[in-house]
Amino acid sequence: MGTGRSAQILKKAVKLIPGGVNSPVRAFKAVGGGPLFISRAKGSKIYDVDGNEYIDYIGSWGPMILGHVHPKVSAAIKKAVDRGTSYGAPTELEVTLAEHTLKAFPSMDMVRFVSSGTEATMSALRLARAYTGRDGIIKFEGCYHGHSDSLLVKAGSGAATLGVPDSPGVVADLAKHTYNATYNDLASVRAIFEKKPKAIACVIVEGVPGNMGVVLPKEGFLKGLKALCKEFGALLIMDEVMSGFRLCYGGAQKIYKIDPDLTCLGKVIGGGLPVGGFGGKRKIMEQLAPSGPVYQAGTLSGNPLAMTAGIETLKLLQGKTVYEKLYKTTNSLVEGLEEIAKRRGVPVRTAVAGSMFTVFFSERPIASWKDARGADTAKFGKYFTRMLKAGIYLPPSQFEAVFVGLAHTGKDIAKTLEAADKAMKGL
Ligand code: KE4
C-alpha cells in the first residue's frame, strides 16, 4: 500500500483535494491503506513515486487497451500539440473519429463527442426524455453510468465500493423518476413498465456490466430489454463506455446482436485522453442543438489532442490479430487463476467479457448486484494487498473489472499467476 513518498504526498493531498484523490475509487478505501501515487507508466507496467514497478491491470479503468505510451499514439499526440491544444471550433479530426466510431457501431447514424462517460450518459438521458416526452428512466441496481444525478441511484463502481449507491445531494424530486430493476431479471423490468406504462423514457444498461464486477447477461436478457422498450415505447440506451472496444471492436451490441436506440461511449475511444460520446438513430440525434431543441454543449468537446489519441487508438485496434491476442492473454490469466483457486481451496466465481474480467470471492453464481454484494470483500482485500506487495496492480475493489491489454506479455501472466498462487494460500 502507499508507503514512502506515496504516504507523504497523500498527507499533503488530503488537505487540498477531498480524500486526496480526484475520483473516489482511487483512494483504496475498500482495501485499506493509502493509494499509490503514480509517477509514470510504459507498456503493461506502472511505476509509483518510490520507483516500484507493477504490472498494471487497471489500465486507467479501461482506456489503456494498447498499453501505456504506445509509440504511435504518443507520437501522434506530440505532433498534435504543436498544432494547438484547443480551438473551441470544429476540426476534421472530429469527423475522422466520428467515421471510425460509426463504422464500429453500425447501430449509430450519428455521434456527439463529449469529455467523459458521465457527460455521454447524462446527455443521452436528456435526449431520450426530450424525444419521448417522458421523465422516467429504468436502470439496474449495481450498474454505474457516471455520476449525473438521475443515475446516482443504487449505482455500482465507486458508489457501491464506498457503500453510497444513493448519493446525498441528489434531489428527491429527480431521483423519484429513476426506477431500479434487477439485472438479468426481465420480469422486474416489465413490472416497472406495467406500473408506469406511459412514463418511461428509456432503459439504460451497461453493454456488459463491469461496475459490480463483470456480470454477464443471461441468454435473451438484452434482446428481452429491446422488446420491452419497443412494447412500451421507450428507448434502449446501451452504455458501452466500458464494454465498447473492450469486448470486441463494436462492443456488446455486436456480440449480442442488439440494435439500441442510443449508445454511450468513453474510455478506449479517447486512448487515454478525455473523450466520451453518445450516438444513435438519426431521427433522435437530430433533436440535439443546434439542429434541434435539446441543448448539450462542451468547451473541450472534440478536443484536437483527444481526437488524435482516439483516432490512433481505434486505427491500431483494427489490426487483424488484436482481439485474438487480447482474448488469448485474458483467458490464459483467468484459467490460471481458476486453477490456483481450486488447488488452494478458495471458492471463486469468474466472469470474462473479452479483455475484462472479475474473480469474485464467492461460492454462489453472480448474476446480479444482490449476488455480487454477497462476495467476500474482506477476502478480496487480503488478496488485493498480497498481490500489490508482489508487484501486481489490481483494481482496488471487488466491484470492478480487471483490464487486460495488448502490452501484457506471457511473462507478465506467469508472474501474475505466481503471485496469485502465494496470495490465495490460506485465504
Ligand atoms: P467517466 O465519467 O468516469 O468517464 O465515465 C462514467 C462511466 C459511465 N459508464 C460506465 C459503464 C462506466 O464504467 C463509467 C466509469 N467507470 C468507472 C470504473 N468503474 C470509472 C473509474 C472512476 O470512477 O474513477
Residues 363 and 298 in one domain: no
206 and 177 co-located in one domain: yes
- One domain for residues 186 and 334: no
Q: Which atom of ligand 1 is nearest to the CA of 274?
A: 4
Whether 173 is catalytic is: no
CA distance 363 to 184: 19
Question: Is the pLDDT reported for residue 93 higher than 80?
Answer: yes
112, 267, 320, 381, 426 from 423: Cα distances, Å: 45, 30, 36, 11, 8
| Tally of structural domains, the chain | 2
The residue whose C-alpha atom lies closest to atom 24 belonging to ligand 1 is 23
With cell 470544429, the residue in question is 90
76 lines ligand 1 (CB under 6 A): no
Look up residue 37 and give its DSSP letter.
Answer: P
Helices marked H in 258-409: 282-285, 304-317, 322-343, 369-372, 377-389
Summarize the confidence of residues 85-107 as an average pLDDT: 98
Residues 61, 356 contacting (CB under 8 angstroms): no
Answer whether residue 129 shows pLDDT above 90. Answer: yes
Alpha-carbon gap, residue 18 to 263, rounded angstroms: 32
Report how far ligand 1's centroid is from the alpha carbon of 148 (Å).
11
Q: Which CATH number characterizes residue 191's domain?
A: 3.40.640.10
pLDDT at 71: 98
Q: Do both 220 and 277 map to the same domain? A: yes
What CA–CA distances, in Å, run from 248 to 53, 356, 367? 29, 11, 22
With vertex at residue 260, the alpha carbon angle to CA 255 and CA 263, rounded to the nearest 5 degrees, is 90
Half-sphere exposure of 179 (CA within 13 A, CB side): 20
Is any ligand 1 atom within 6 A of the Cβ of residue 318? no
Q: Are residues 227 and 360 in the same domain?
A: no
SS3 at position 179 = strand
pLDDT of residue 32: 85
Same domain? 413 vs 344: yes
Structural domain ending residue among the three candidates 291, 317, 343: 317
What pTM did the predictor assign?
0.97
Looking at the fold, whether 132 and 230 belong to one and the same domain comes out as: yes
pLDDT tens column, 14-73: 999 999 999 999 999 889 889 999 999 999 999 999 999 999 999 999 999 999 999 999
84: Cβ contacts below 8 Å, ≥ 6 apart: 304
CB of 157 sitting under 6 A from ligand 1: yes
Which tens digit of pLDDT belongs to each residue from 290-336?
Answer: 999 999 999 999 999 999 999 999 999 999 999 999 999 999 999 99
Are residue 344 and residue 311 in the same domain, yes or no? no
Q: Whose CA is nearest to atom 21 of ligand 1?
A: 61
- Please identify, among 284, 317, 350, the residue that sits at the C-terminal boundary of a domain: 317
Domain final residue pick, 298, 317, 336: 317
60 and 192 share a domain?
no
Residues 350 and 309 in one domain: no
CATH number at residue 376: 3.90.1150.10
- Atom of ligand 1 minimally distant from the CA of 243: 11
CA–CA–CA angle 416, 242, 6 (5° rounding): 50
Domain of residue 150 covers: 71-317
Do 363 and 293 share a structural domain? no
Residue 242 CB less than 6 A away from ligand 1 = yes
Q: Could you confirm whether 267 is annotated as catalytic?
A: yes
Measured in degrees and rounded to the nearest 5, phi and psi for residue 398 equal: -65, -25
* Same domain assignment for residues 202 and 128: yes
How many residues does this entry show for the chain?
427
Distance 266 CA to ligand 1 centre (A): 8
